[in-house]
Amino acid sequence: MRLKLIMDCNPGAVLPYNYNYQLVQIIRRAIHQVNPAGSGLGKCFNLYTFSQLYFEKYAIGKEGILNQGERVHWYVTSPRIIFLETLLRGMKNIRSLQLGDSTLWVQGAEVLGDPDIKDKMEFSCMSPISIACAGSSKDARPRYGRIEDRDFSEKLRQDLISKYYKVYDALPSDENLHFEFNKTYIKNKARVTRLVDFNGVKILGYMVPFTVTGNPELIQLGYQLGFGHKNSCGFGMVKIWYSQQRQDEAG
């Protein structure tokens, strides 16, 4: 299940490019408004991911994202309904989000059910997919996997199996998954990477449509919780990639 938050933003407002950390703080604040002690949430608290902000109309400026419309949409998803219910109540309480010098006012929300997930799905990214690899030494910064790495897809598969165990306290009966990233999209786009500054930490991710084939339970968990690492920092959220969208984005 996922939430679609609908917010008003003044035309002409400038929002920072790197807002992921601020959005995480807003989520924590909203949860705390409803449940200060975190009672009943347990390990649910980090089992979520969220999308980039979606603007009706915007322009890219030197100082940030220039809002040219009135509405901004934001999506949050989790396999834990209690988390989303708590977040929704908290967002209604806080009523506004502060991003840099700009304010977004929460006007409403929609609860979106999960689509029918089959053993072969095509997705596009609502936030970048990132794979963090351990550095060569104890104090080294993590290396972020490149989509051209031979083990990039395998690490996505292993990560989903690990998430499945964390969520359900059991291993999936079928661990089969295969990822195929859209080569035509990569070829036609000038840039498919995103380098996000998360409170001073640079995180590399990719915004590339892909096909995943295998166990529908694992695919569904990826849809609910995100593919790849750093999900609770706003990475790995996807949506179904429809045929007309494929034509538009590949052209």
Please list the pLDDT of the chain residue by residue as tens digits (251 residues): 999 999 999 999 999 999 999 999 999 999 988 887 765 566 667 899 999 999 999 999 889 999 999 999 999 999 999 999 999 999 999 999 999 999 999 999 999 999 999 999 999 999 999 999 865 556 567 789 999 999 999 999 999 999 999 999 999 999 999 999 999 999 999 999 999 999 999 999 999 999 999 999 999 999 999 999 999 999 999 999 875 455 455 44
Res 251: pLDDT: 46
Q: What is the CATH number of the domain that holds 205?
A: 3.30.70.1900
Q: Which of 112, 133, 149 is the last residue of a domain?
A: 112
Domain that holds residue 68: 2-112
Into how many domains does the chain fold? 2
Q: For 30, phi and psi rounded to 5 degrees?
A: -65, -40
Instruction: Note whether 223 and 163 are same-domain residues.
Output: yes
Res 244: pLDDT: 45
Comparing C-alpha atoms, which of 230, 50, 245, 28 is closest to residue 145?
A: 230
Comparing C-alpha atoms, which of 74, 71, 73 is closest to residue 48?
A: 74
Res 45: pLDDT: 73
188 vs 173: CA distance, rounded Å: 38
160 vs 154: CA distance, rounded Å: 10
Instruction: Note whether 63 and 151 are same-domain residues.
Output: no
Residue carrying structure tokens 């395998």: 154
Instruction: Note whether 124 and 98 are same-domain residues.
Output: no
Res 206: pLDDT: 98
95 vs 108: CA distance, rounded Å: 9
CB 104 within 8 A of CB 95: no
Q: Which of 75, 92, 112 is the last residue of a domain?
A: 112
CB 87 within 8 A of CB 14: no
212 vs 177: CA distance, rounded Å: 7
Q: What is the CATH number of the domain that holds 80?
A: 3.30.70.1890
Instruction: Note whether 129 and 210 are same-domain residues.
Output: yes
Instruction: Note whether 14 and 132 are same-domain residues.
Output: no
∠ CA 60-64-70, rounded to 5°: 75
Instruction: Note whether 74 and 151 are same-domain residues.
Output: no
